[in-house]
């Protein structure tokens, strides 16, 4: 059985500011660094064979800490980058709505961002990565650190969901999603698990 731990990067400074990142290379915030430590503790006893990550700093830095705890290096793969958000890169919701009056960010499932990447583009590169990683790591356990949009497409590809469907998944910063493959079939075992972050959330309560 092949097991993939799909991990969203810890909080970045742009996450904290409510900005669309896409390929924007924003660093981890202080909260993000705390989340990384909690992630490492969560995965400490997991026998990882490899750690892959998006080359964007927020994912690569999250992955580096996980890999170091397992005496592994990080294999960076361009196919794990977030959606390219074109003209919206670095903007918040209000700025996007001002730039594109009348746009409905929630209802338009086939929206193509000006200068950005299509869902079909994302699907093709994610599917290519999955094909390679399952070939290279049959019957092993692998951690993959990437982004919310990329995670949604990864899970969608595994479960055979339509490319243009708005996927019913949410992935919080530093969340863990576990999916296994056996006999050619994917099984979703855990989705958006953030239980390791609960002590941090308790510490921030007044």
β pairing state of 176-182 and 141-146: unpaired
Rounded Cα distance, 70 and 141, in Å: 12
Is the per-residue pLDDT at 7 higher than 90? Answer: yes
Contact (Cβ atoms closer than 8 angstroms) between residue 155 and residue 177: yes
User: For residue 53, what are its two tokens?
Assistant: 């990550």
Rounded distance between C-alpha atoms, residue 81 and residue 129, angstroms: 11
pLDDT of residue 205: 46
Q: Which segments within 62-193 are labelled E, that is strand?
A: 74-76, 141-146, 176-182, 185-193
Cβ-contact 22, 116 below 8 angstroms: yes
Give per-residue pLDDT as tens, 51-64.
999 999 999 999 99
pTM of the model: 0.92
Spatial strand order in the sheet of 50-53:
74-76, 50-53, 141-146, 2-8, 176-182, 185-193
Determine whether 204 is exposed, middle or buried from the number of CB atoms within 10 Å of its CB (0-12, 13-18, 19+): exposed
CB 68 within 8 A of CB 45: no
CA distances 147 to 19, 56, 71, Å, are 14, 9, 23
pLDDT in tens, 83-140: 999 999 999 988 988 887 777 666 555 667 888 898 899 999 999 999 999 999 999 9
Burial of 14 per CB tally in 10 Å (0-12, 13-18, 19+): buried
CB 123 within 8 A of CB 157: yes
d(CA 176, CA 180): 13
């Amino acid at each position: 059985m092949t097991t993939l731990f799909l991990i969203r990067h810890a909080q970045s400074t742009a996450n904290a500011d409510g900005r669309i990142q896409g390929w924007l290379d924003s660093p981890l915030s202080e909260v993000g660094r705390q989340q990384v430590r909690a992630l490492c503790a969560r995965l400490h006893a997991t026998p990882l064979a490899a750690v892959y990550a998006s080359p964007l700093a927020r994912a690569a830095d999250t992955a580096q800490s996980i890999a170091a705890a397992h005496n592994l290096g990080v294999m960076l793969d361009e196919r794990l980058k977030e959606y390219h958000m074109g003209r919206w890169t670095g903007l918040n919701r209000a700025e996007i709505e001002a730039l594109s009056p009348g746009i409905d960010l929630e209802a338009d499932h086939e929206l193509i961002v000006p200068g950005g990447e299509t869902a079909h583009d994302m699907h093709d590169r994610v599917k290519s990565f999955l094909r390679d990683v399952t070939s290279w790591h049959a019957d092993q356990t692998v951690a993959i650190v990437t982004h919310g949009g990329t995670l949604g497409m990864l899970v969608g590809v595994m479960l055979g969901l339509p490319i243009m469907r708005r996927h019913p998944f949410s992935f919080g910063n530093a969340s863990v999603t576990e999916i296994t493959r056996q006999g050619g079939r994917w099984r979703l075992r855990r989705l958006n698990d953030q239980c390791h972050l609960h002590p941090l959330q308790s510490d921030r309560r007044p």
